[in-house]
Amino acid sequence: MESKPLHLTTYGLQPADDHEVIVFAQDLPSSCSGYFSITTAGDTRYYAVASKEEAHTWINSIRQGRQANIELAMGHDKRPYPESWRYIDAMGEERVNKNGRIKEIMKGSDRREMEMMEFMDGGATNRFS
Instruction: HSE, CB side, 13 Å, CA atoms: give it for residue 48.
Output: 14
pLDDT of residue 129: 47
> What is the tens place of the pLDDT at every residue in 96-124?
899 999 999 999 998 988 888 888 876 55
Domain ranges of the chain: 1-79, 80-129
Q: What is the pTM of this model?
A: 0.56
pLDDT of residue 50: 92
* pLDDT, average across residues 44-71: 90
* Least-confidence region, from 9-13, 29-33, 81-85: 9-13
State yes or no: pLDDT of 67 exceeds 70.
Answer: yes
* Residue 38: closest CA among 1, 6, 92: 1
35, burial (CB in 10 Å: exposed 0-12, middle 13-18, buried 19+) = buried
